[in-house]
Chains A and B, each alone.
Chain A
Amino acid sequence: VSIYTPDLQNILSLLFFLLPASALTTGIYMIFSTKPEMATQEIQPNETLTNLKAESDTLKTKLEDERAKLHDVELHQVAEKVDGLGQFIMKTRRTLKGHGNKVLCMDWCKDKRRIVSSSQDGKVIVWDAFTTNKEHAVTMPCTWVMACAYAPSGCAVACGGLDNKCSVYPLSLDKNENLAAKKKSVAMHTNYLSACSFTNSDMQILTSSGDGTCALWDVESGQLLQSFHGHAADVLCLDLAPSETGNTFVSGGCDKKANVWDMRSGQCIQSFETHESDINSVRYYPSGDAFASGSDDATCRLYDLRADREVAIYSKESIIFGASSVDFSLSGRLLFGGYNDYTINVWDVLKGTRVSILFGHENRVSTLRLSPDGTAFCSGSWDHTLRVRDRGVITWATFPKGPHSQGER
Chain B
Amino acid sequence: MERVIVAMQDPDMGMKMRNQRLLITVIPHAMTGNDVIEWLIQKYNITEEEARHLGGLLVQYGYIYPLREPRSLLLRSDDSPYRFQTPYFWTSSRWPATELDYAIYLAKKNIRKQGELVDYEKENYSILHKRINHTWDFVVMQAREQLRASKQRRKADRIVLECQEQAYWLINKPCVNMPLYYHYTTLGRNRVKSSICLESFMKYSEQYLHHDPIMSGCLPSNPWISDDTSHWTINTDMVGIPTRLRVERWSFSFMELLNDSMGRREFMIYLEKEFSAENLCFWVACEDLRHGESSKIILKVEEVYKNFLAPGAARWVNIDSKTMERTLEGIKRPHRFIMDDAQMHIYFLMKKDSYPRNLTSRTPTLAIVPQETKKSVFPFMRRQRHSSPSPAMVTQATEDDGKAKGAGPTGTSSTTNSQI
A286 touches B293 (CB 8 A): no
CB distance from A401 to the nearest CB of B (A): 10
B interface size (C-beta, 8 A): 120
Question: How far does the alpha carbon of A104 sit from the alpha carbon of B211 in the complex, in Å?
Answer: 30
Docked CA distance A224–B132 (Å): 9
CA distance A18 to B218 in the complex (A): 58
User: Given A78-B195, A264-B340, A311-B198, are A39 and B57 neighbors across the interface (CB < 8 Å)?
Assistant: no
Structural contact, A29 and B225, CB atoms closer than 8 A: no
Q: Determine whether B181 belongs to the interface, using a CB cutoff of 8 Å to chain A.
A: yes
Chain B window 174-213, contacts with chain A (Cβ cutoff 8 Å), 1 for yes, 0 for no? 0111111111101101011111111111101111111111
Q: Which residues of A contact B214 (CB under 8 A)?
A: 329-330, 334, 374-377, 390-391
Report A259-279 CB contacts with B as 1/0, cut-off 8 Å.
Answer: 000001010101100000000
Q: Which of B1-9, B109-117, B152-160, B319-327 lies at the interface? A: B1-9
Q: How many A-B residue pairs have CB under 8 A?
A: 348
A8–B217 Cα distance when bound, in Å, is 66
B366 at the interface (CB under 8 A from A): no
User: Which residues from 97 to 149 on chain A have a C-beta closer than 8 Å to any C-beta of chain B?
Assistant: 109-114, 128, 130-133, 135
Contact partner of B232 (CB less than 8 A), chosen from A1, A71, A112, A245, is A112
Q: Is B150 an interface residue (CB 8 A)?
A: no
Say whether A304 faces chain B, with CB atoms less than 8 Å apart.
Answer: yes
- A48 interface hit (Cβ, 8 Å): no
B306 interface contact, C-beta 8 A = no
| Residue contact A394 to B2, C-beta cutoff 8 Å | no
Most B CB contacts (10 A, CB to CB) among A70, A110, A289, A290 go to: A70
Please give, as numbers and ranges, the residues of chain B lying within 8 Å of A72 by CB-CB distance.
193-195
A131 touches B198 (CB 8 A): no
Number of interface residues of A (CB under 8 A): 128
- A-contact bits for B211-230, CB 8 A (1 contact / 0 none): 11111111101111100010
Give the distance in Å from the alpha carbon of A66 to the alpha carbon of B183 in the complex. 12
Separation of A404 and B244 alpha carbons in the complex (Å): 10
Q: Cβ of A67 < 8 Å from any Cβ of B?
A: yes
Asked if A345 is an interface residue, CB under 8 A from chain B, the answer is: no
| A131 engages B195 (CB within 8 Å) | no
Residues of B within 8 A of A (CB): 1-3, 6, 56-57, 60-61, 71-74, 87-88, 90-93, 95-96, 119-120, 123, 127, 130-131, 133-134, 170-173, 175-184, 186-187, 189, 191-202, 204-219, 221-225, 229, 231-232, 235, 244-245, 254-255, 287, 290-295, 336-337, 340, 344, 347, 351, 369, 372, 375, 385-388, 390-396, 407, 414-416, 418-420
8 further contact pairs, Cβ within 8 A, besides A59-B183, A70-B191, A203-B294 = A82-B206, A170-B392, A270-B186, A289-B201, A311-B198, A330-B211, A350-B202, A376-B222
8 pairs of A and B residues whose beta carbons are closest in the complex: A154-B391, A331-B208, A331-B212, A201-B291, A21-B170, A59-B183, A306-B192, A4-B92
